[in-house]
Amino acid sequence: MSSSGKTSRTKLVKVVLLGDGGVGKSSLMNRFVTNKFDSQSYHTIGVEFLNKDITVSNNTYTMQIWDTAGQERFKSLRTPFYRGADCCLLTYSVDDIQSFKNLTMWKKEFLYYADVQDEEHFPFVVLGNKVDIPERQVSIDDAQIWCNHHKIPYYETSAKDSTNVQIAFEGAAKRVKEQEEKLDLKSPHANTVDLNKRLPKSGSCC
């Protein structure tokens, strides 16, 4: 997360949306940023991004949402954009079990190409989209078990009827903030020189 330069208090948060083609990544981004939904949307080719400012717990964030192409044939076009991400939204569709099974692959792909420093604590969020569709192939319990196992927060969304879309993106900003606070707590110690530590005797060789 870095200062956007807009105001000293606004932080730029780069969020990457990943998941199978057709799960609703572009629709979620458009619902969040423009509050619109298109039932006839086209597959994304490569990557597109949009910005939106949000305020969470008195902090203002510019959410920079990077919407990627989920289809396998576009892999080489999307992966260069993972670097520098502050958060990754792993998206599947609750009416498509294969898109849920592929979450593991998406997480791996992200970690491989984003080249993050601390893989274990990187802020992921899982979105189970299209909850407006009654014919589910993935139960909320199964999704929650996967997310608990990977220690990732889970939101069920619908880009079509707006369910939880705002809340999920706010959740992503909170995840990033929590992670930064943890790192801030750790870093003073990392740079501290321990004056009580015994120095090697002069003349001794290492």
Q: Which residues contact 198 (CB under 8 A, 6 or more apart)?
A: none
Q: In whole angstroms, give the CA distance from residue 138 to residue 130.
A: 11
Stretch that binds ligand GTP, among 25-33, 48-56, 134-142, 192-200 (CB under 6 A): 25-33
- The single residue among 159, 168, 172, 173 that binds ligand GTP, judged by CB under 6 A, is 159
Measure Cα distances from 204 to 72, 196, 198, 200 in Å.
59, 19, 13, 7
In three-state secondary structure terms, 96 is: coil
Residue 44 binding Mg ion, by CB under 5 A: yes
Stretch that binds ligand GTP, among 23-31, 56-64, 167-175, 190-198 (CB under 6 A): 23-31
In three-state secondary structure terms, 83 is: coil
Residue 44 binding ligand GTP, by CB under 6 A: yes
Count of residues touching Mg ion (by CB under 5 A): 3
Identity at 147, one-letter amino acid code: C
Residue 130 binding ligand GTP, by CB under 6 A: yes
Residue 25 binding ligand GTP, by CB under 6 A: yes
Site string for ligand GTP, 88-127 (x = CB under 6 A): ----------------------------------------
Rg (CA), the chain: 20
Stretch that binds Mg ion, among 1-9, 42-50, 90-98, 179-187 (CB under 5 A): 42-50
Site string for ligand GTP, 46-85 (x = CB under 6 A): -----------------------xxx--------------
Residue 24 binding ligand GTP, by CB under 6 A: yes
Measure Cα distances from 104 to 2, 90, 101, 140, 147 in Å.
28, 9, 7, 17, 11
Return the number of the residue (22 or 153) whose C-beta is nearest Mg ion: 22
Alpha-helical regions (H) of 35-81: 75-78
Q: Please answer whether residues 53 and 61 qualify as being in contact, where contact means their C-beta atoms are separated by less than 8 angstroms.
A: yes
Tell me which residues in 7-36 interact with Mg ion (CB under 5 A): 25-26
Q: Which residues contact 102 (CB under 8 A, 6 or more apart)?
A: 19, 20, 92
* Binding stretches for Mg ion (CB under 5 A): 25-26, 44
Q: Which residues bind ligand GTP (CB under 6 A)?
A: 19, 21-27, 38-39, 41, 43-44, 69-71, 129-130, 132-133, 158-160
